[in-house]
Chain A
């Protein structure tokens, strides 16, 4: 299967600082990448969808200025949590869909390993 690498796996930052999380598709080109947030023992909540070379589409209630998403290439998307606060502490997961699948249903989403963010 396709591999999505997310970095860092965990990060601790001070309140008020910004932190960047990277999501890379290692062996395929991803037209679309998704960013999720997950609280303990809860489901994945979609934050935003990004397409290469265009602005991200944010879900209702997600602050665009706080969670900056950049999808500059077909293999890299970044999520920057700006001016982080303790309430931003969470587990963030990215996923990517492959470009131009040979068979439609193969265009499933592949997931990164997630990033645990702790803001102190």
Chain B
């Protein structure tokens, strides 16, 4: 069974600084997708960024980028120029190519300090 591990229950960052959230996963599949979701206090799940396993290039979405290390099964999220609105719970998620459902990590609570 696939597992997703987020080893940082809480992180904090100064406004305008950069922070990296860690995620590792375990799978025997070769075809899969990885996601980072943000859950702000409203509790609406918002997709931040996604990565297809077959792509070597790291995904980037504005201030958000990932460091995808397939051999190490690592998928970290880097937030640059952190803003107060980035404060949220961040979940790493995995989906195999053949599966329908997502497997979520335990989440990292990010605090942005003014």
A binds B: yes
Selected contact of A49 from candidates B42, B43, B50, B101, CB within 8 Å: B101
| A43: contacting residue among B43, B97, B101, B107, CB under 8 A | B107
Asked whether A42 lies within 8 Å of B42 as measured between CB atoms, the reply is: no
| CB contact under 8 A between A43 and B104, given known A105-B52, A111-B45 | yes
Interface residues of B (CB under 8 A from A): 33, 35, 37, 42-47, 50, 52, 89, 91, 97, 100-102, 104-107, 109
Cβ of B102: which chain A residues have Cβ within 8 Å of it? 34, 46, 95, 109
* A42 x B45 contact (CB < 8 A): no
Q: Are B43 and A108 in contact (CB under 8 A)?
A: no
Q: Are B91 and A43 in contact (CB under 8 A)?
A: yes
Query: Complex Cα distance A49/B52, Å?
Result: 23
Check if A113 is an interface residue, CB within 8 A of chain B.
yes
Listed by A's residue number, 20 A-B pairs whose Cβ atoms lie within 8 Å are A34-B100, A34-B101, A41-B107, A43-B106, A43-B107, A46-B101, A49-B100, A49-B101, A93-B45, A95-B45, A95-B102, A105-B33, A105-B50, A105-B52, A108-B33, A108-B47, A108-B50, A110-B47, A111-B37, A114-B43
Q: A104-B97, A109-B102 are in contact. Are A44 and B91 (CB under 8 A)?
A: yes
A77 contact set on B, CB distance < 8 A: none
A-B residue pairs, 6 tightest by C-beta: A111-B45, A43-B104, A113-B44, A43-B106, A114-B43, A32-B100
Q: How many residues of A contact B (CB 8 A)?
A: 22
Q: How far is the CB of B25 from chain A (nearest CB, A)?
A: 14
Specify which chain B residues have a CB less than 8 angstroms from the CB of A34 in the assembled complex. Answer: 100-102
Cβ contacts under 8 Å, B52 to chain A: 105
Complex: A4 Cα to B42 Cα, angstroms: 15
Query: A91 CA to B41 CA in the complex, in Å?
Result: 13
